[in-house]
Amino acid sequence: MKEMRKKIEELLKNGEIDVALGYRENPATGEVKADVFRKDETLDDMVFDERCVQNLVNYLPTLVARYKKVGIVLKGCDGRSLVTQLVEHRINKSQIVALGIGCEGVRLDGKEADKCGDCATNMTPIVDYEFGEKKQKKDPVFSKVKEIERMSPAERWKFFADYFARCERCYACRQICPSCYCEICVADQQEPKWIEPSAKLSANTMWHLIRAYHLAGRCADCGECERVCPQEIPMRLLNNALEKAVHELFGVRPGTVPEEVPPLVVLNKEDPDTILEGKNE
């Protein structure tokens, strides 16, 4: 951490970056939040530890629009979500300096965050400066997804319908997701109304299905959607189910390979037709 702080100080000083996006601790409350660090200030408040849950990539597009060059502190999972951003021309690599840090896991509500159990890489795949230790990771197991998969279709629907019905459609999940950046979200469209504006089960179901599908092969499991959901809808389950599916179907783990094109737009004539068949119950 010290090393990283020093590096960032140096980068800011010699103008290699205009601002740095990192985590700031409020010494009074002990709270840690995303913030922008500038040249003329001390980096004493900059921290990196298990409290740094937020994915900073979501703030990048606004910052790169305002500054020429932005440094960003990246955990493994956040780095994965950056891959999609770069491939989809949302951010130009030349405008950012990636400061990867070996993540030891983050904590939410006093215990290790769920997503860390399924961590695919603790070091960002895109990195300019590397700090801390890079660990060999096992493939995610997605045990909760498997639990759902063991249920009958009716049980599964009951499980999800209960959650979907609670959705208020505040779109916090959309707003926090770095990969949800459409100019006009399909949920806001009138022509036609694929998703009706009112918060009711049928429209909420459409919203959650479409949200999950649109992230298929792009979601890097940073878990922010689920974290910010005021109704505690388990959105990571849907994301993970598709992450698992994409891996099983196409052998791809989204975001782990720089410059990899999202699997849903890859042309592969050799896909077997069996991928179109239903899985056994």
Partner 1 sequence: MQVEKEPKILAILCKWCSYAGADLAGTSRFIYPANVRIVQVPCSGRVDPIMIFKAFVEGYDGVMVSGCHPGDCHYGTGNYHARRRIAVARRLLEFVGVHPDRMHFTWISAAEGKKFADVCSRFTDELKALSGTEKTLARKELAT
Partner 2 sequence: MAAIELVPKPVTIKRIIEESRDVKSYVLQMSGSGKMPARPGQFVEVSVQGYGEATFAVTRISKDNQEFNISVKRIGHLTKMLHRAAPGDIIGVRGPYGNSFPVDEWKGKDIVVIGGGIGLAPLRPVIDYVLEHRKDYGKLEIVFGARAPDDILYKEDLRIWEDDKGISLYKTIDVPFEGWSGRVGVVPIVVKDLALKPDGKISIVCGPPIMIKFTAAALRELRWPNDKIFTTLEMKMQCGIGQCGRCNIGEKFICKDGPVFSLDQIPEHAL
Partner 3 sequence: MNKWYKMKHADMQKFVSALTEKWEVWVPYRIDGKWEFGIYDTGRDLDFPESVIHVSLKNLFFPKRRPIATYDENSKWSLKPVEPEGKPRIVIGLHPCDVAGIEYMDKVFLQSEHKDVMYASERKRTVLIGMLCSEMADNCHCTDRGLTPDATRGMDAAFARITDGYLLKGLTDKGKQVLRSEYLKKVDEVPDKKDWPAGRYVIASPEEFMEMYDDKIWHEMSDICLTCGICTYACPTCVCFLVTDENFKGKGERVTVWDSCQLQSYSRMAGGHNTRKTPASRVRNRTLDKFAYSHLRYGQISCTGCGRCVMVCPLKRSFPQLGARLTERIKDKKKGKSKSGARSKEA
Binding-residue pattern over the window 177 to 206 for partner 2, x denoting contact by CB under 8 A: -------------xxx--------------
Tokens of 212: 């999950």
205 is a site residue for partner 3 (CB under 8 A): no
What DSSP letter does each residue of 68-85 carry, written as one string? S-EEEEE-HHHHHHHHHH
The backbone torsions φ and ψ at residue 18, rounded to the nearest 5 degrees and listed phi first, read: -85, -40
Closer Cβ to partner 3, 10 or 168, answer by number: 168
Which one of the spans 16-24, 45-53, 93-101, 237-245 is the region binding partner 1 (CB under 8 A)? 237-245
DSSP, res 118: T
Amino acid at 260: E
Distances (CA, A) of 97 to 22, 53, 218: 12, 20, 22
Nearest in space to 69 (alpha carbons), one of 143, 9, 18: 18
Q: How far is the CB of 70 from partner 1 (least distance, A)?
A: 33
Please select the residue that binds partner 3; options are 161, 201, 230, 265, rule is CB under 8 A: 230
Element (H, E) at 100: strand 96-101
Q: Which does 278 bind (CB under 5 to 8 A by kind): partner 1, partner 2, partner 3, none?
A: partner 1
Contact partner at residue 154 from partner 2, partner 3, partner 1, none, CB < 5 to 8 Å by partner kind: partner 1
Point out which residues bind partner 3 (CB under 8 A): 24, 26, 31, 33-36, 45, 59, 62, 168-172, 174-176, 184-185, 188, 193, 196-200, 227-230
